[in-house]
Chain A
Amino acid sequence: MPEPLDVGLFVPCYVDQLAPEVGLATACVLERAGCRVHYDAGQTCCGQPFLNMGATAAGTRLAQRHLDIFQKYETIVCPSGSCTATVRRRYPEFGVGADEAGHAQRARTFELGEFLVRRLERTGLGARFPHRVAVLSSCHGLRDLGLGSASENLGTRERSPTEVLLGEVEGLSLVPSLRDECCGFGGSFAVRLPEVSARMGRARLREWADAGAEYVTGTDVSCLLHLEGIRQREGSGPEAIHLAEILARTEDR
Chain B
Amino acid sequence: MSHPVESGARRELGSPEAILRHDASVFDLRLRRDAAAGEVPDWEALCDRAAAVKAHGLDHLDRYLEEFERRATEAGAVVHWASDAAAFCATVGDLLEEHAVERVAKSKSMLTEECGLNPHLEERGIVVVDTDLGERIVQLEAEPPSHIIVPAIHRSRQEIGELFHRRMGTPRGETDPERLTRAARRDLRTRFLSAQAGITGVNFAVAETGSLVVVTNEGNADLGMSLPPLHIACLGIEKLIPRLDDLPTFLRLLARSATGQPISAYTSVVTGPRPGGELHIVLVDNGRSALLGDAAHRSALRCIRCGACLNTCPVYRRAGGHAYPGPIPGPIGSVLGPAMHEKGASLPHASTLCGSCTAVCPVRIDLHDQLLAWRREGSPPRGFEALLARLAGFVMARPRLYRMAGALARVVWPALRVRFPGNPAHGWLAARELPRHPGASFSARWARERGAGE
Whether A39 pairs with B454 at a CB distance below 8 angstroms is: yes
Most interface-central of B9, B369, B442, B449 (chain A CB within 10 A)? B442
Nearest A residue (CB) for B35: A154
B359 sits at the interface (CB 8 A): yes
For B440, list chain A residues within 8 Å (CB).
20
B194 sits at the interface (CB 8 A): no
Q: Say how far A23's CB is from chain B's closest CB, in angstroms.
A: 4
Whether A197 pairs with B442 at a CB distance below 8 angstroms is: no
Whether A20 pairs with B438 at a CB distance below 8 angstroms is: yes
Q: Quick one: which of A90-123 are within 8 Å of B by CB?
A: 90, 93
Q: Say how far A69's CB is from chain B's closest CB, in angstroms.
A: 10
From known contacts A58-B392, A139-B356, infer whether A53 and B381 are also in contact, taking CB-CB under 8 Å: yes
For A233, list chain B residues within 8 Å (CB).
431-433
For A191, list chain B residues within 8 Å (CB).
427-428, 430
Q: How far is the CA of A217 from the CA of B318 in the complex (A)?
A: 23
Q: Quick one: which of A144-177 are within 8 Å of B by CB?
A: 144, 150-154
From known contacts A54-B376, A154-B34, A199-B318, infer whether A194 and B354 are also in contact, taking CB-CB under 8 Å: no
Q: How far is the CA of A190 from the CA of B386 in the complex (A)?
A: 18
Chain B interface size band reads 35 or more
Whether A11 pairs with B442 at a CB distance below 8 angstroms is: yes
Whether B399 pairs with A44 at a CB distance below 8 angstroms is: yes
Nearest B residue (CB) for A193: B6
Which residue of the partner chain, among B23, B379, B435, B443, contacts A41 with CB atoms under 8 Å?
A: B443
From known contacts A143-B354, A199-B19, infer whether A53 and B442 are also in contact, taking CB-CB under 8 Å: no
Whether A190 pairs with B427 at a CB distance below 8 angstroms is: yes
Whether B314 pairs with A182 at a CB distance below 8 angstroms is: yes
For B433, list chain A residues within 8 Å (CB).
229, 232-233
For B431, list chain A residues within 8 Å (CB).
190, 194-195, 197-198, 201, 229-230, 233
Q: How far is the CA of A108 from the CA of B427 in the complex (A)?
A: 36
Nearest B residue (CB) for A12: B442
For A16, list chain B residues within 8 Å (CB).
406, 441-443
Whether A194 pairs with B359 at a CB distance below 8 angstroms is: no
Which residue of the partner chain, among B10, B358, B428, contacts A195 with CB atoms under 8 Å?
A: B10
For A186, list chain B residues within 8 Å (CB).
351-354
For A90, list chain B residues within 8 Å (CB).
372
- Write the A5-19 contact mask toward B (1 if CB under 8 angstroms, else 0): 000000101011111
From known contacts A54-B381, A198-B432, A229-B428, infer whether A193 and B353 are also in contact, taking CB-CB under 8 Å: no
Whether B399 pairs with A200 at a CB distance below 8 angstroms is: no
Q: Say how far A116's CB is from chain B's closest CB, in angstroms.
A: 20
Whether A57 pairs with B393 at a CB distance below 8 angstroms is: yes
Which residue of the partner chain, among B354, B377, B393, B438, contacts A59 with CB atoms under 8 Å?
A: B393
Chain A interface size band reads 35 or more
Whether A151 pairs with B34 at a CB distance below 8 angstroms is: yes
Q: How far is the CA of A18 from the CA of B409 in the complex (A)?
A: 10
A21 sits at the interface (CB 8 A): yes
A65 sits at the interface (CB 8 A): yes
From known contacts A20-B441, A40-B454, A189-B351, infer whether A200 and B446 are also in contact, taking CB-CB under 8 Å: no
From known contacts A182-B314, A182-B354, A228-B435, infer whether A61 and B393 are also in contact, taking CB-CB under 8 Å: yes
Whether B355 pairs with A139 at a CB distance below 8 angstroms is: yes
Whether A39 pairs with B453 at a CB distance below 8 angstroms is: yes
Q: Say how far A188's CB is from chain B's closest CB, in angstroms.
A: 7
Which residue of the partner chain, among A18, A21, A195, contacts B9 with CB atoms under 8 Å?
A: A195
B58 sits at the interface (CB 8 A): no
For B443, list chain A residues within 8 Å (CB).
11, 16, 39, 41
For A194, list chain B residues within 8 Å (CB).
6, 427-428, 430-432
Whether A189 pairs with B396 at a CB distance below 8 angstroms is: no
Q: Quick one: which of A3-56 are within 8 Å of B by CB?
A: 11, 13, 15-21, 23-24, 27, 38-45, 50-56
Whether B353 pairs with A200 at a CB distance below 8 angstroms is: no
Q: Say how far B46's CB is from chain A's closest CB, in angstroms.
A: 11
Whether A154 pairs with B393 at a CB distance below 8 angstroms is: no
A192 sits at the interface (CB 8 A): yes
From known contacts A143-B354, A192-B3, infer whether A184 and B314 are also in contact, taking CB-CB under 8 Å: yes
B95 sits at the interface (CB 8 A): no
- Write the B193-217 contact mask toward A (1 if CB under 8 angstroms, else 0): 0000000000000000000000000
B274 sits at the interface (CB 8 A): no
For A225, list chain B residues within 8 Å (CB).
435
Whether B397 pairs with A65 at a CB distance below 8 angstroms is: yes
B270 sits at the interface (CB 8 A): no
Which residue of the partner chain, among A17, A93, A200, contacts B441 with CB atoms under 8 Å?
A: A17
Among listed B36-44, B131-139, B149-157, B237-245, interface-contacting one: B36-44
Which residue of the partner chain, among B43, B359, B393, B428, contacts A143 with CB atoms under 8 Å?
A: B359
Whether A232 pairs with B432 at a CB distance below 8 angstroms is: yes
B63 sits at the interface (CB 8 A): no
A241 sits at the interface (CB 8 A): no
Whether A185 pairs with B355 at a CB distance below 8 angstroms is: no
From known contacts A189-B352, A193-B350, infer whether A154 and B37 are also in contact, taking CB-CB under 8 Å: yes
Q: Say how far A160's CB is from chain B's closest CB, in angstroms.
A: 15
Nearest A residue (CB) for B379: A54
For B27, list chain A residues within 8 Å (CB).
179
A181 sits at the interface (CB 8 A): yes
Which residue of the partner chain, among B318, B355, B406, B445, contacts A200 with CB atoms under 8 Å?
A: B318
Q: Say how far A133's CB is from chain B's closest CB, in angstroms.
A: 20
Whether A61 pairs with B430 at a CB distance below 8 angstroms is: no
Whether A50 pairs with B393 at a CB distance below 8 angstroms is: yes
Most interface-central of B3, B434, B437 (chain A CB within 10 A)? B3
- Give the A-binding residues of B (Cβ under 8 A): 2-3, 5-6, 9-10, 19, 23, 27, 30, 34, 37-38, 43-44, 312, 314-315, 318-319, 349-356, 358-360, 369, 372-373, 375-377, 379-381, 386, 389-390, 392-394, 396-399, 402, 406, 409, 427-428, 430-435, 437-438, 440-447, 449-450, 452-454
24 contacts between A and B (CB under 8 A): A11-B443, A13-B402, A15-B442, A16-B441, A16-B443, A23-B442, A24-B445, A24-B446, A41-B452, A53-B389, A55-B380, A55-B393, A90-B372, A93-B372, A140-B353, A152-B34, A181-B354, A188-B349, A192-B427, A194-B6, A194-B432, A229-B433, A233-B431, A233-B432
Extra 11 A-B pairs, beta carbons < 8 Å, given A20-B442, A143-B356, A233-B432? A18-B435, A24-B449, A41-B443, A42-B453, A44-B398, A139-B352, A154-B38, A182-B354, A194-B430, A197-B431, A199-B9
